[in-house]
Amino acid sequence: MPQTLIGTEMQTRTQETYLKDIYDFLEPEILVVCPKCHRKASIKTGKFSVAVFSAEDLKLVCTDCGYNKKLSEKAKLFSNASTDVNCSTGRSFTVGNGKDPFFDCELWLTKPCAENNLWAYNYEHLDFLYDHVRATLRERNAEAPRNRSLGSRLPKWMTSRKNRDSLLKCIADLKERQ
């Protein structure tokens, strides 16, 4: 049965726009820490539409230890569901809290950075962050209008000039994390 992907703690218009970008990075896979062996595992999300998709078929797979679990085998409600919006079938998905939205696992690509928590769903997401942090800085340096920039939709701490160097370094570090 199709489900609606909803739920976020973010409120402002800018951040909502950023979330639309985040949705694009939920596919084709989300890299997480394996619940069993703590090495890199993957949630195969395949191709799904953001508005309507069947989540029950989503699978968490670890090629190291063989862990393999479908979302349909997981308990219906997440422990932090009180802060989320529940969809009609009793599941809720939180996007934008630094964990994977489906199994609630720690992400593989995450790292403390500039007194915040840098995280990405996969390497494409990291590339996006890297490119747009740099693009935003270029625009700011040139004092050009930046409202068209995807980078302007990033959280403030990610576009702050004082965090520039450490952020780019953190992203580069995570890109090396295979």
- 64 vs 173, beta carbon nearer Zn ion: 64
Burial profile 165-174: b = 16 or more Cβ within 10 angstroms, e = fewer: eebbebbeeb
Question: CB 154 → Zn ion: shortest distance, Å?
Answer: 32
Q: Output 65 or 172, the one with its CB closest to Zn ion.
A: 65
Name the residue nearer to Zn ion (CB basis): 16 or 64.
64
Q: How far is the CB of 125 from Zn ion (least distance, A)?
A: 22
- What number of CA atoms fall less than 13 Å from residue 121's CA on the CB side? 25
User: Which two three-digit tokens encode residue 84?
Assistant: 């989320």
Q: What residues line the site for Zn ion (CB under 5 A)?
A: 34, 36-37, 62, 64-65, 67
Contact in structure between 107 and 33 (CB atoms under 8 Å): yes
Give the angle 128-171-122 at the CA atoms, nearest 5°: 55
Residue 138 in contact with residue 3, Cβ under 8 Å? Answer: no
Considering the complex, what minimum distance in angstroms separates the CB of residue 42 from Zn ion? 10
Smaller CB separation from Zn ion, 34 or 154:
34
What is the DSSP secondary-structure string of 57-75? T-EEE-TTT--EEEGGGS-
CB of 67 to Zn ion, least distance (A): 4
